[in-house]
Amino acid sequence: MPNSNGPLISVKNLKTVFRTRGGEVHAVNSVSFDLAQGELLGVVGESGSGKSVTMMSLIGLLPTPPAEIRSGQVMFEGSDLLTAEPRELRRIRGGKIGFVFQDPMTSLNPVFTVGFQIVEPLRRHLGLNRAAARKRAAELLELVGIPDPRRRLANFPHQFSGGMRQRVMFAIAIACEPKVLIADEPTTALDVTIQAQIIELVRDLRKNLGMAIVWITHDLGVIAGISDRVIVMYGGQIVEQGPVSEVFSDPGHPYTQALLGTVPAVRGKRIDKLKTIEGQAPVLENSPSSCSFHPRCALALERCGRELPLKMQIRGSHDAACFLAKTEMSPANA
Amino acid sequence: MPHASSRKLKCRRQMLDEAKTPESLVRVERLKVYFPITAGVLRRKVGDVKAVDDVSFEIVRGETLGLVGESGCGKTTVGRALIRLLDATEGSVRIDGEDITEASHSKLHRLRPRMQMIFQDPQASLNPRLTVAGIIGEPIIEHLNLSKHDRLERIYELMDAVGLSREYSNRYPHEFSGGQRQRIGIARALALNPDFVVCDEPIAALDVSIQAQVVNLLEELQDRMGLTYLFISHDLGMVRHIADRVAVMYLGRIVEVAPRDLLYEQPLHPYTEALLSAVPEADPEIEKYRQRIILEGDVPSPENPPEGCNFCSRCPKVMDICRRVEPPVTSTAPGRNVACHLYAASGDAN
Ligand SMILES: Nc1ncnc2c1ncn2[C@@H]1O[C@H](COP(=O)(O)OP(=O)(O)OP(=O)(O)O)[C@@H](O)[C@H]1O
Ligand SMILES: Nc1ncnc2c1ncn2[C@@H]1O[C@H](COP(=O)(O)OP(=O)(O)OP(=O)(O)O)[C@@H](O)[C@H]1O
Ligand SMILES: [Mg+2]
Ligand SMILES: [Mg+2]
């Protein structure tokens, strides 16, 4: 039996590589993190930094080839998902682990009605009969704020707006009340009031079912409001992680600092030219041997171009992979 | 005094400029787009989804009009109808004087390079069988006569501009992250130096730094070449940054249009108020105490909009009249219109 105090999912040293005609792409490099029972873990980071690939690797959603999981371990309920049988994985996906994809059009099937696509997992994983599954499907659409849900079940995905498709994805992912929900940019196509409604729903799911959630987003405002801990990714690695209030108020990695400095505000003063982080994202041809942020880092030392910085503990569970991260050793660790 | 006279000259020029009222590039009049609802094997029509229901607005040349509103309220449909990717059910759209709604195929083909769209769903809008260079190059081949070398140069230039490494030019769309795919779509839309671009959630899939890079690029192009944008977005912070004016939609209608600063400082329509109050802030401390207006009540569907004002079923300030009479459009300041009984001059509002 898994230890009920231990993490629900524990990822160790995950490495995912794509083989392409142009050579290898090292999309995920030595990523390790834990997800506790009932926790909401926010994941932020640069576009192309490996957030989606990391999460898809966990539950075997990447086609192999071209993807290859070079190393790692993903412990869930006492077994390693990376070595699980495909059948077992299919049972877990959509059952115990729900997934909301970043791109709704790729994961909703255009030739089936929305209703069919929600009803099908309800029947397969929960064994509901047709009538009960349809009833539940309409309830789920209602939960995600889609008006006139009964009639909408008969629609095809192209008859929904972008944000409605995203909410259908969300409804499918929570349909079987999974233990873990992995949501990849689940609210990018939603306006703030409906986003607030989905966030409220997520709070209920956590409270009532103890669901653990991984929430990938570019919206730092959402992360600030809902998550307990946050992971910051850059160039296929986790460069910082910790409790959200600490990471936001006292970011340890220069990338996190730069990222937090680029958000345009709705309230307060309006700025004329938006700040960006100068320079280009790394091309991930090799597994990194130095800090991948150093070419763009204002604070870079000579050493940063030679060595790979290891995780430095800043305080408690807050750490950053940077030589400059100020550590505040607690007496117990010193 | 030479000084005074030069000032006078400038003054006169200004007056002349004003006399030549800013020219509107896009003029939308009473636009309606309905999708038929069919039933049974014979696909009998049983009703309409009124996705866009009587919408009028203008966009001045060189201006950015922000378009915001609830998910499913008809923003994408407006954008598509504006450049005739969809046929209007009623009403008209003129771009630079040319009636788009009535234009023939050959005329549309001629106008295409001047009006482009950045699509909300990047995956669905990119041909999976073409490489990035192929996708960005496609409109260039179709509409411009460039040598192979010049075309590649242009493609590289565009890739630089949206922050995609040139080394990716031979990759296929599925080999990219969500945000990288979005940037391919942006590069393609800009390939022909259009006059007017409908940007439908162009930055939703990007991290804030790359969002800023893309938005700075759009602004730079606007300054340099006088581009005009319809900027559809849920990101109210970014809309505040980029838009000159903002239109707010609710259930197929425009409920408020105003110059940017007025809208953000003092929203008039109760829906706009609720919307602005719901924007989360990137600060866990502020988030703990932020007050927002929560909308209760039935969410109406565009097939069966409520009697009177479309927002009446959820409006925190609803009055009796709102459930009976459609609110008239009232102008409260220059360029500022609101469709709400609270502001109607002759209404029985307080
Ligand atoms: N099939 C593939 N072949 C080659 N490279 C790939 C493939 N899929 C993804 N990549 C690359 O892997 C890297 C990580 O991609 P991933 O989708 O995880 O990024 P992300 O952090 O989710 O970004 P975004 O915020 O833009 O969605 C990217 O640089 C991407 O180009
Ligand atoms: N092809 C179609 N057939 C039937 N209904 C449609 C079609 N396209 C859109 N609709 C409906 O029209 C309404 C408006 O959709 P639209 O895509 O314009 O919304 P939107 O404002 O862009 O929303 P979002 O912010 O979620 O992208 C929705 O109710 C949608 O279901
Ligand atoms: Mg992604
Ligand atoms: Mg849309």
In whole angstroms, what is the distance from residue A308 CA to residue A288 CA? 7
Find out whether A44 and A220 touch, Cβ atoms under 8 Å.
Answer: yes
Q: Would you say the pTM of this structure is higher than 0.90?
A: no
Query: If you take atom 14 of ligand 1, which residue's CA is the nearest one?
Result: A50
Find out whether A113 and A156 touch, Cβ atoms under 8 Å.
Answer: yes
Q: How far is the CA of B252 from the centre of ligand 2 (A)?
A: 10
Query: If you take atom 31 of ligand 2, which residue's CA is the nearest one?
Result: A160
Chain centre distance of CA B102: 22
Span B37-56, pLDDT tens digits? 887 777 788 889 999 999 99
Judge if ipTM > 0.90. Answer: no
Where is average pLDDT lowest: A133-137, A261-265, B151-155, B239-243? A261-265
- Reported as a pLDDT band with limits 50, 70 and 90, residue A174 is very high
Please give the average per-residue pLDDT across A191-209, as a whole number: 88
- pLDDT for residue A328: 57
Interface of B with A in 134-153 (CB under 8 A): none
- Reported as a pLDDT band with limits 50, 70 and 90, residue B6 is very low
- Reported as a pLDDT band with limits 50, 70 and 90, residue A265 is low
Which residues of chain A lie closer than 8 angstroms to B236, CB-CB?
192, 266
Q: How close, in Å, is residue B180 to chain A by CA atoms?
A: 7
More confident site: B198 or A163: B198
| Residue of B210, B279, B301 with shortest CB distance to A221 | B279
**Of the candidates B215, B173, B179, B212, the residue with the CA atom closest to the CA atom of residue B197:** B215
- pLDDT for residue B33: 96
Contact A266 B237 (CB under 8 A): yes
Is residue A161 within 6 Å of ligand 2 at its C-beta? yes
For residue A190, what is the DSSP state?
S
Sheet of B336-339, strand order: B115-118, B196-200, B228-232, B64-69, B245-250, B253-259, B336-339, B329-333
**Does residue B348 carry a pLDDT above 50?**
no
Interface of B with A in 55-94 (CB under 8 A): 68-72, 76
Which atom of ligand 2 sits closest to the CA of residue B252? Answer: 14
SS3 state at A135: helix
Phi and psi at residue B7, to the nearest 5°: -65, -40
Which atom of ligand 1 sits closest to the CA of residue A236? Answer: 14
Question: A229-247: b or e for each residue (b if 16 or more CB lie within 10 Å)?
Answer: bbbbbbbbbbbbbbbbbbb
- pLDDT for residue A4: 56
Chain centre distance of CA B95: 15
Query: If you take atom 29 of ligand 1, which residue's CA is the nearest one?
Result: A48
Instruction: Give the CA radius of gyration of chain A.
Output: 21
**Of the candidates B122, B181, B75, the residue with the CA atom closest to the CA atom of residue A104:** B122
In whole angstroms, what is the distance from residue B84 CA to residue A68 CA? 44
Q: Give the total residue count for chain B.
A: 350
In whole angstroms, what is the distance from residue A169 CA to residue A96 CA? 16
Q: Which two tokens stand for residue B100?
A: 């788009």
- pLDDT for residue A18: 93
Q: Is B244 on the interface with A (CB under 8 A)?
A: no
Q: What is the mean pLDDT of chain A?
A: 88
**Of the candidates A52, B134, A334, B155, the residue with the CA atom closest to the CA atom of residue B165:** B155
Q: How far is the CA of A48 from the centre of ligand 3 (A)?
A: 7
E strands present in B115-195: 115-118
Which residues of chain A lie closer than 8 angstroms to B306, CB-CB?
none
Which atom of ligand 1 sits closest to the CA of residue A53? Answer: 18
Q: Is B122 on the interface with A (CB under 8 A)?
A: yes
A252: left (phi over 0), alpha (psi -120 to 50) or beta: alpha
Q: Is B208 on the interface with A (CB under 8 A)?
A: yes
Q: Is B170 on the interface with A (CB under 8 A)?
A: yes
Which residues of chain B lie closer than 8 angstroms to A20, CB-CB?
171, 175
Find out whether A28 and A15 touch, Cβ atoms under 8 Å.
Answer: yes
